[in-house]
Amino acid sequence: MTVLHPLKTRRHAWLVAALLLLAGCGGDPYDIVPVSGRVTLDGDPVAEANVSFEPIGEGDELALGPGSFGMTDAEGRYTLETVDRRRGAVVGEHRVTISTFRAAPDRSKMEVVREEEIPARYSGESELTFVVPPEGSAAADFELVSE
C-alpha cells in the first residue's frame, strides 16, 4: 500500500481545485460551437472571400456575444473563429456578410487591391442570415447567385 505524504496530497488538492475553478466557475458566458461551410457564386467556388457572422437578436448587441469570421479557400470552404480567436461562432441567429473587396493597407491613399465580386445583397447590404445550432454546423453553406 502506498502512503501519500500530507504535503503532496495538499498540493494535489490545490491543483485539482485550481483546474476546476478555471474550467467551471467564471466560464464563457457564450456558447461557442464549431461552424464551417462553403461559398459558391452561380455554382462556382468563391476563393479568398471574407465571411463574417454577427450575432443578431433582441437586446444589447454586445450582450449577444462576439462576431466570427473566416476566409474561403480555393474551393470556397471556410471555418469560423471569433474575433478573440476562439474556433467557431456564438449559438443563435447571425447576419452574414460575404465580401471579396480588398484595399491596400496604406491608409494615406485608397488603393483597391481586389474589386467586390459579390452582389450587394450578400456583401455591403447583406440579406443573409444563419442560425447557428447548439451542436454547431459543418454545413453553413451559401449558394449565391448573380444579380
Instruction: For 33-87, write each residue's pLDDT tens digit.
Output: 999 999 999 999 999 999 999 999 765 555 688 999 999 999 999 999 998 899 9
**Mean pLDDT, rounded, for 100-116:** 78
The pLDDT of residue 9 is 46
> Could you tell me the three cell numbers for 66?
462576439
Split into its structural domains, the chain has a count of 1
Looking up residue 52, the CATH number of its domain turns out to be 2.60.40.10
Asked if residue 52 is part of any domain, the answer here is yes
Asked if residue 17 is part of any domain, the answer here is no
The pLDDT of residue 147 is 72
| Beta carbons within 8 Å of 93's beta carbon, 6+ residues apart | 55, 56, 57, 129, 130, 131, 132
CA dihedral in degrees (39, 40, 44, 45; nearest 10)?
A: -10
The pLDDT of residue 48 is 96
Domain of residue 114: give its range: 32-144
Q: For 66, how many CA atoms within 13 A lie in the half-sphere containing its CB? A: 18
Smallest Cα–Cα separation from 125: which of 102, 147, 97?
97
Asked if residue 36 is part of any domain, the answer here is yes
Asked if residue 14 is part of any domain, the answer here is no
Asked if residue 77 is part of any domain, the answer here is yes
Asked if residue 5 is part of any domain, the answer here is no
The pLDDT of residue 62 is 55
In this predicted structure, the answer to whether residue 22 has a pLDDT above a threshold of 60 is no
**Mean pLDDT, rounded, for 136-144:** 98
Instruction: Point out the least confidently predicted range of 83-87, 100-104, 121-125.
Output: 100-104
Asked if residue 26 is part of any domain, the answer here is no
Asked if residue 124 is part of any domain, the answer here is yes
In this predicted structure, the answer to whether residue 25 has a pLDDT above a threshold of 70 is no
Task: Give percent above pLDDT 70 in the chain.
Answer: 75
Q: What pTM does this model have? A: 0.75
